């Protein structure tokens, strides 16, 4: 079964809007695990507009499943990952002021940087994933850099899904197959939701993990967190 990692950035966004500690990011993470999530994802940015570095340190000893820290590998981010030692780090090429991630790495252009980072994190026992588009060249150079996994940027799939789901998923199936043949695990994330998740999961039987935040937290406003996590996990059962 594909693992569900819940991205709790949006919970931190709500907290930061008023100050204080409501909602409690750490408690929400613990509850997500209690309700069945197999991992927690955080994406700290330099301006700490949602997840703060202090949140990541607080989560370090609390998370019992898998902690995935994603983000752009600036010096402070690399230092954070080295100190926290999460299960997984996901390298994302977003600018510091980006609202959300909107593209995968040009892994050939940035090969030296990525290769060096993968070596550093592997020495620390941290599984390393590189955020990529479906471009075969990007996946091939991610493998050359030594990545354990790639995370497929699924916004194009989500956008086209309501129009033509078979054509929408086709390049992702091919990209996932290439990654698998190159010896890497396959994760996926961005704009996945209760409408489009099951089909993606069925078409890529070897998909290892999905990271979902915005849609899941939005659904939880209506369904409740426990019911929402149960609903997302149901989408990941059938292969």
Annotated catalytic sites, by residue? 43, 70, 190
Reported as type and span, the H/E element at residue 98 is none
134 token code pair:
């479906």
The pLDDT value given to residue 76: 94
- The DSSP code for 108 is T
The pLDDT value given to residue 158: 98
Distance CA 239, CA 204 (A): 8
* Regions of the chain with pLDDT less than 50: none
The pLDDT value given to residue 96: 66
Question: With pLDDT > 70 as the criterion, what percentage of the chain qualifies?
Answer: 96
The pLDDT value given to residue 94: 82
**The overall pTM is greater than 0.75:** yes
The pLDDT value given to residue 46: 86
């Amino acid at each position: 079964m594909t693992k569900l990692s819940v991205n709790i950035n949006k919970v931190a966004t709500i907290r930061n809007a008023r100050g204080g500690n409501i909602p409690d990011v750490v408690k929400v993470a613990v509850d997500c695990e209690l309700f069945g999530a197999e991992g927690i994802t955080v994406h700290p940015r330099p301006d700490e507009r949602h997840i703060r570095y202090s949140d990541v340190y607080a989560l370090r000893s609390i998370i019992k499943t898998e902690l995935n820290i994603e983000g752009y590998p600036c010096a402070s981010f690399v230092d954070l990952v080295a100190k926290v030692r999460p299960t997984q780090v996901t390298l994302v090429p977003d600018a510091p002021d980006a609202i959300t991630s909107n593209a995968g790495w040009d892994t050939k252009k940035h090969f030296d940087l990525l290769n060096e980072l993968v070596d550093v994190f592997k020495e620390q026992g941290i599984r390393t994933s590189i955020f990529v588009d479906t471009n075969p060249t990007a996946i091939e150079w991610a493998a050359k850099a030594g990545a354990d996994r790639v995370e497929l940027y699924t916004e194009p799939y989500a956008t086209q899904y309501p129009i033509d789901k078979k054509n929408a998923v086709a390049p992702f199936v091919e990209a996932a197959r290439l990654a698998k043949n190159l010896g890497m695990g396959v994760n996926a994330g961005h704009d996945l939701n209760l409408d489009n998740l099951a089909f993606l999961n069925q078409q890529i039987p070897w998909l290892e993990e999905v990271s979902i935040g915005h849609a899941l937290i939005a659904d939880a406003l209506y369904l409740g967190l426990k019911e929402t996590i149960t609903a997302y996990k149901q989408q990941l059962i059938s292969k």
